[in-house]
Amino acid sequence: MRSILTRRLAVLGLAAAALAGPASAQGYPERPITMIVPFAPGGPTDVIARLVAETMSRSLGQQVVIENVAGAGGTTGITRASQATPDGYTIMMGHMGTHGAAPALFKGLKYDPAKSFDPIGLAAGTPIVIVAKNNFDAPDLKTFLEAVKSGGAKINQAHAGVGSVSHSTGILFNSIVGAKPTLVVYRGTGPALNDMMAGQVDFMTDQIVNVAPQITGGTIKAYAIATPERSPALPNVPTTKEAGLPGYEVSAWNAVFAPKGLPKDVAAKLDAALAKALEDDNTKKRILELGGTVPTQAERGPAALQKLVESEVARWTPVLRAAVDGSQ
């Protein structure tokens, strides 16, 4: 309780400081900061952005306002944000799709994930879970993989639209396993889960945030989680390594970016505010409760994020290109 009080006082102090010192470059931030979230409100990226933005607002002494600009797998919002003035007043929450898979999926993309941005830092990861309808006749991942492989096009795999996390991670899954299921497309994860509960589709791969309630509620089943360690949100679900598919490790990461050309001191302030947000007990607790992961010290920061983006683009491009070209 006392710590909250002191923090509030600190915020007041910061706010007062911000009011006292106008117009100097050191004064950043002097007005609210816009964080563009390239997806509709309510989804996993939006929730993480709001959690982080709330704590960042407190340490920056200015409100970080979320603006949802959804469309085209998140690339509409990121394109807009990439063209904003790099003054630190427009930042964005990018993710695996917009800064990893997009170049392979969207021809004529107006930004380059590795070159058009100043990375601020990784915010949170949401691990991918392999889920299936309850009456899928396979007790564990190994038999499931056999069934999916031998079933061929008779197996129905759901995904939430081209460019969605379930789409890219599903294609990666198929290419690693060597499966060729029929793809059934949904507008979002919700309707896909509904049809899975009703037994209309067989399986999908999606972010833990989206599927954990149904797994714990027993309406669908999970075969494995694609992270090196089990998630506290789903302690009974084995990792892909444990269950026998070590090559499939994937997590939908969310990270804060700014348009290229940010002043150094502004970048440092944003970096520090994000780091502080990720140290905040409440924010951390909420992210973990969602099934998300908080990046370790080594994974944080601009340099690590830049590396991640480059490796992700390199990882997704060949897999997705092959799948997209194959289907046309």
Partner 1 sequence: MTDLLANLGLGFSIALSLQNLALCFLGCLVGTLIGVLPGVGPIATIAMLLPITFGLDPVGALIMLAGIYYGAQYGGSTTAILVNIPGEATSVITTLDGHQMARQGRAGIALGTAAIASFFAGTVATLLIAALGAPLTKLALVFGPAEYFALMVMGLVFAVVLARGSILKAVAMILVGILFASVGTDLETGQERMTFGLAFLADGVDFSVLAMGLFGIAEILRNLDHTETRDVVRQQIGRLLPGRADIKQATPSVLRGTVIGSTLGILPGNGAVLGPFASYAIEKRIAKDPSRFGNGAIEGVAGPESANNAGAQTSFIPLLTLGIPPNAVMALMVGAMTIHGIVPGPGVMTKNPNLFWGMIASMWLGNLMLLIINLPLVGLWVRLLKVPYRLMFPAILMFCSIGIYSINSVPTDVMFIAFFGIVGYALIKLGFEPAPLLLGFVLGRLMEEYLRRALTLSRGDPIVFLERPVAAGLLLLTAVVLAAALLPSLRKSRDEVFTEA
By CB under 8 A, residue 289 contacts partner 1: yes
Short-list 111, 104, 57, CA closest to 81:
111
* The binder of partner 1 chosen from 85, 216, 296, 311 (CB under 8 A): 216
Question: What is the DSSP-derived secondary structure letter of residue 280?
Answer: -
Token pair, residue 128, equals: 């991918």
By CB under 8 A, residue 184 contacts partner 1: yes
* The binder of partner 1 chosen from 59, 62, 116, 156 (CB under 8 A): 156
- Cβ nearer to partner 1, comparing 50 with 241: 50
* Stretch 123-152 residues interacting with partner 1 (CB under 8 A): none
- In the chain, DSSP assigns E strands to 33-37, 64-68, 90-95, 117-133, 156-159, 182-185, 203-207, 220-225, 251-259
* The binder of partner 1 chosen from 194, 238, 284, 299 (CB under 8 A): 194
Token pair, residue 26, equals: 């050191």
Count of residues binding partner 1 (CB under 8 A)?
A: 55
Task: Select from 123-131, 142-150, 217-225, 271-279 the region that touches partner 1 (CB under 8 A).
Answer: 217-225
Short-list 281, 280, 272, CA closest to 300:
272
Short-list 99, 145, 71, CA closest to 312:
99
- Cβ nearer to partner 1, comparing 287 with 305: 287
Task: Select from 119-127, 156-164, 260-268, 308-316 the region that touches partner 1 (CB under 8 A).
Answer: 156-164
Q: How many CB atoms lie within 10 A of CB 152?
A: 11
Helix (H) or strand (E) holding 43: none
By CB under 8 A, residue 306 contacts partner 1: no
By CB under 8 A, residue 308 contacts partner 1: no
Short-list 58, 18, 322, CA closest to 174:
322
Identify residue 304 by its one-letter amino acid code: A
Q: How far is residue 306's CA from residue 302's CA, in Å, rounded to a whole number?
A: 6
- Cβ nearer to partner 1, comparing 197 with 272: 197
Q: What does the binding site for partner 1 look like in residue numbers (CB under 8 A)? A: 40-43, 46-47, 50-51, 53-54, 66-72, 76, 105, 153, 156, 161-163, 182-188, 190-191, 193-195, 197-198, 200-201, 209, 212-214, 216-219, 285-286, 289-290, 324, 327-328
